Amino acid sequence: MRSLFLFLLLLNILYALWQLQAGDVQPDSVLPVAERSDGDHAPVSAAIEGEGASEPERPARTEVADEAPPAALCITLGAFAERLEAEQLLQRLLALDVQAGLVEDDVVGSTDYWLVMPVSGGSVDAVARLSLLQEQGIESFVITRGPLAGNISLGVFSRLDYAEARQAQLLADGNDVRVESVDKLRTQYLVQVQPAARRLVDQALLGRLRNDFPSLQHQYQACSPVAKLDSLP
């Protein structure tokens, strides 16, 4: 009985010592985060953010070519069929200190339609064909100037339908004839106000000018570098 009592006492002492040791020692895995050294390891979440985060995308730079500045605009006044009338307008503007000049411009005035018989054998062939046509009573002549020179003209018409009707008659008679359009140029005169003086030509001034030049028209257009400006003294 005494042995059993000593055995139980010894067992209780060993159990108490085991409990004491188990209560003092804690594994590293359950240590509070605050007790760990800040310099040893960064928080896992911060490490993940540092590795996975990428630099913000910068917007792509769009290269835009510098657009050429618009050409300086002049005011064109006119147009006049007679140079004298344009010179009178120019004198008025110069008297008002408006910088301007006279511009001559060749434009298509009208179009003529030529009945042409082509000649490929030179002047000898042209004279021979001309003789045959005149024997048939067909008015004709050898063209001596221009892009149709060397061929024979069988008539000049101001309207295309008239030319085509006459062409049909000549073709029916066995004559090789084609219709050629020829532009007739005419010279018109304009007064061109330079950009530096453009602000001086306002609606009030244009109204006064139209009292003396009823057909006066004006428009804004690019100043031509090849314009022939003949400023009057």
pLDDT at 191 over 50: yes
| Contacting residues for 139 by C-beta, under 8 A, at least 6 apart | 154, 155
Using an 8 Å Cβ cutoff, are 117 and 175 in contact?
yes
Distance CA 90, CA 87 (A): 5
pLDDT at 224 over 90: no
Q: Which residue has the higher pLDDT, 32 or 117?
A: 117
The CATH number fitting domain 109-185, selected from 1.10.3470, 1.10.287, 3.30.70, 3.40.1130? 3.30.70
Q: Is the pTM of this model over 0.85?
A: no
Distance CA 102, CA 162 (A): 39
* Phi, psi (rounded to 5 degrees) for 139: -65, 130
Using an 8 Å Cβ cutoff, are 101 and 229 in contact?
yes
Residue found by looking up tokens 């004839």 in the block: 177
pLDDT at 36 over 80: no
Q: Which residue has the higher pLDDT, 112 or 39?
A: 112
Q: Which residue has the higher pLDDT, 36 or 84?
A: 84
Using an 8 Å Cβ cutoff, are 109 and 184 in contact?
yes
* Phi, psi (rounded to 5 degrees) for 79: -90, 160
Q: How confident is the model at residue 14 (pLDDT cuts 50, 70, 90)?
A: confident
Q: What is the pLDDT of residues 38-96, one digit of tens each?
A: 444 444 444 444 444 455 555 454 443 344 445 578 999 989 999 999 999 999 999 99
Distance CA 103, CA 97 (A): 18
Using an 8 Å Cβ cutoff, are 166 and 155 in contact?
yes
Q: Which residue has the higher pLDDT, 20 or 155?
A: 155
Instruction: Give the residue from 213, 189, 188, 218 showing the smallest Cα distance to 201.
Output: 218
DSSP type of residue 224: P
